[in-house]
Structure 1
């Protein structure tokens, strides 16, 4: 650990952060200043920014291949010719918070896995310099990604490496949301809340149903650790990218909302369908994710391959039933209970409403009503006092 005393992170994330991140869609070599400005404009035009996706995060590969003569990071001269400060100003002019990527070792993840030809782009032994650089550029959000930071003779260890940057950020005097990413290896939910506002809990999300369900299983064990200013992060959204069908996209997004997860979109909003836009801007699901009580849903499994997630809200309660089977299931509401055949799925009081998963209005959960959930689909219900 460093000898400096950390006085505590700024309390600037009372609800889960929302925004967009470049990685899932464009990965490394396909990002540029021009393309990202187009994405920002599309987020505004589509209504996503107004719906709350207001943090614009530029992931790995924004950097020049080497640091400057003064040791500072700088933007790639061809793909980001205006520089990161100017790009940040363009984003802020459109109403976004400015997010950026860095890593604690000598390398970034793209240098390891994407053959990005950089040198010493990690922040090892330059934490204060990099933090001051980011603050000077107006950065509001930092994703700090482990990327095997203990290699190359650094001697770094969890959680010390993340504390070093926390101290450096504190020293800038700028309030920056700090996103810790070490993939759940060291149970960060038990320690990362001392330093960061959110922490990755799993390996990277993939574009398939199995990945979504695997992450959900992990989250079910740690929901108690989520709350205002400290959030479990099950990774960025894949809705709008190839790999999930329409129903699976709905369940993926609804689950993240019920889990009180940070919502970082990862698709290309310039080409998204109306259906994806309606899903991601659904005010009913977003209202659950952003509920100020900040309690994540807990899971029960009353029937094999059927999960029920129940989340307390500041003014009521919400339930999400997930059908993990390959068959359609049918639920009824009888005598104050949601039932699958003769099995009680969950007690739900009269007056609850079934929420639309894309556009539309809530529908009453009336006595005897039959609700159909397709394979990999879900039923979202809430009751407001």
Structure 2
């Protein structure tokens, strides 16, 4: 996080009917929506605290849902909505009013239970204990009456208020000596970060009734792995001690930020491994757009290094997290950061698309908006003064509360998503958020697939979705097609015609006929070594069909020479139009030249079954495509993963988990969360 200054917020809200801009053009009758399984993920027994990597003992068996104030307000004091004097309006009251807005809009009941106050709520006294700061945004116990109030010194009553609404109490801290807002303590108070005070803080959190800790990594003096491990252990100790003392105490869900600040590389992939036994969710990339720093820019499309040094737009947050979907499983969630649905300046179609995409990811669904405006009475008050905003907010609440879309996010299989096609690149190499179509698939526990078709262009797109191209194979019968936004059901024998508005998405649940099989297929992309750039696709060079035609990495085009099928026998089959039975194959024997300075093997295509021992690959959570029975991995030559046209070879795998190489990690289609 970065402390920001107030800027004028861009206004892009348009009056758009909620469910008209993405339509499935096949008939069917509506069905009653199945209720979502909105597990809050914090009610496990204390004995299960350290079992985050074990689905049977997972603290968060499904992605957590809730609210956080950061992206909308950061540490900036806010005004009451009723016109009363702002100087008397406290940070604590603002958070309570947001919780009430969620409750009155039905969103806590829908599953958004974890209400988390972010930075600037605290100070640390001279004895080393945390308390609520008395001024909004100030790390102090000295009340300054010229500023707005902060929090009560003890947060017990605040936590009780949240629990009384049926919500959970989430709180922020950092693993270092000071939080990311860099608010300076007043003497003799101490820096407000947790480093060196972990057990004190864990004890305070448990005593106040905290259910979730969001743990940043600003101000670290020791290795972040050491600090996060210490807090994880100390939270467990505090919970155990409270239960042993006779106070029934749930575990504190632990949201770790450690991987977020690391670009792809050995350190990032190592962090993605060591966080798993410590917490239940972890941030995986830069902060999403925030209203205070980025209010004059586009919350949907914000490229790193272009509009901001450390803020993604909603699309870029999705795009970055999609590449890491292999790490998602029950109790282990990639945090793509916050939902900007509400009053952050996205259009209704963009809000619907963010909800579609984040649900497909299996991401935690954490709202960051002014949820006070979700109060039905507030929306009604806008009917005459600002009817467009009233309609927009009504749509926002409906999007957030859609039980069928939530159910995709909360699916018990716990799989992430992968891209079948799309992922286009701008001329500067950044992800194209305003052109092209992305098709994204998420496997579901009942054998069906959730499919998101996103229109990133500026005009309505007419698109035909080929169900066989997703990997289904049926000898007869019809597919059941459920439109999750329109809440309608139809049947199809193989294709679905879609009309999708600009920046909107269709979200479908595809259930195959009895006896159908599914083999995952789509794009295979290499990890980007510059996270401001788009990933490149594994590409059959110039669509050649000869034996040993090379493969390279190239801008993702959506063309069939970038379509691959992950067969059950371990072969990776090319699905290029006009070809059949060609598989990813290293040259057998020695190579025709040196690779990375050593004798190696270039990789190309050959007839499936023609090269025993050279066409069976394993794909697991570390992202390696490893030639079975060897220590060799599919490798982008010379380590450069953002240069289109770079050839692909076979090379010694970097040792997991601490020496995994970016040019050997791939995002590939799957049917279930990849194993370790």
Secondary structure (helix, strand or coil) at the match of 2:441 reads strand
Mapped partners of 1:263, 1:193: distance in 2: 19
Structure 2 equivalent of residue 105 of structure 1: 176
1:1-385 paired onto structure 2 within 5 Å: 8=51, 11-30=58-77, 32-64=91-123, 67-77=124-134, 78-81=149-152, 83-111=154-182, 119-147=190-218, 149-150=219-220, 154=221, 156-172=222-238, 173=240, 175-182=251-258, 183-185=260-262, 186-187=268-269, 188-206=271-289, 207-210=299-302, 211-272=313-374, 273-301=393-421, 304=424, 305-315=436-446, 316-332=448-464, 336-337=467-468, 350-356=479-485, 360-364=486-490, 366=492, 370-384=497-511
Q: 1:195 to 1:333 in 2, by over 3 A?
A: closer
Q: Is the 8 A contact 2:480 2:489 kept in 1?
A: no
How many angstroms does 1:241 deviate by?
3.0
Secondary structure (helix, strand or coil) at the match of 2:480 reads coil
1:111-134 per-position Cα deviation (integer Å, ceiling 9, x unaligned) = 16xx78784100111111111111
1:224-258 per-position Cα deviation (integer Å, ceiling 9, x unaligned) = 11011110001011111323221111111110000
**TM-score with structure 1 length normalisation?**
0.87
Mapped partners of 1:382, 1:311: distance in 2: 9
1:40-71 per-position Cα deviation (integer Å, ceiling 9, x unaligned) = 1111110000100011111111113xx23432
Mapped partners of 1:347, 1:88: distance in 2: 49
How many residues are treated as equivalent by the alignment? 361
How many angstroms does 1:142 deviate by?
0.1
Structure 2 equivalent of residue 3 of structure 1: none
Mapped partners of 1:7, 1:361: distance in 2: 39
Mapped partners of 2:62, 2:423: distance in 1: 32
Secondary structure (helix, strand or coil) at the match of 2:407 reads helix
How many angstroms does 1:177 deviate by?
0.3
1:119-176 per-position Cα deviation (integer Å, ceiling 9, x unaligned) = 41001111111111111111110000012x33xxx2x123222111111111112511
Mapped partners of 2:487, 2:50: distance in 1: 46
CA RMSD of aligned residues (A): 2.4
Q: Is the 8 A contact 1:223 1:232 kept in 2?
A: yes
Secondary structure (helix, strand or coil) at the match of 1:202 reads coil
Unaligned ranges ≥5, structure 1? 1-5, 338-343
How many angstroms does 1:110 deviate by?
1.1
1:278-303 per-position Cα deviation (integer Å, ceiling 9, x unaligned) = 00001111010011111111112168
How many angstroms does 1:362 deviate by?
2.4
1:308-351 per-position Cα deviation (integer Å, ceiling 9, x unaligned) = 111111112211111223332212357x55xxxxxx57759621
Mapped partners of 1:45, 1:213: distance in 2: 29
Q: Is the 8 A contact 1:104 1:124 kept in 2?
A: yes
**TM-score with structure 2 length normalisation?**
0.51
Q: Is the 8 A contact 1:354 1:365 kept in 2?
A: no
Structure 1 equivalent of residue 85 of structure 2: none
Q: 1:121 to 1:82 in 2, by over 3 A?
A: closer
Secondary structure (helix, strand or coil) at the match of 2:498 reads strand
Structure 1 range deviating more: 367-376 or 241-250: 367-376
Q: Is the 8 A contact 2:450 2:510 kept in 1?
A: yes
Mapped partners of 2:316, 2:471: distance in 1: 23
Mapped partners of 2:321, 2:396: distance in 1: 24
Q: 1:331 to 1:99 in 2, by over 3 A?
A: same
Mapped partners of 1:377, 1:346: distance in 2: 24
How many angstroms does 1:217 deviate by?
2.3
Q: 1:109 to 1:22 in 2, by over 3 A?
A: same
How many angstroms does 1:106 deviate by?
1.1
Structure with the higher helix share, 1 or 2: 1
Mapped partners of 1:124, 1:303: distance in 2: 40
Structure 1 range deviating more: 7-16 or 248-257: 7-16
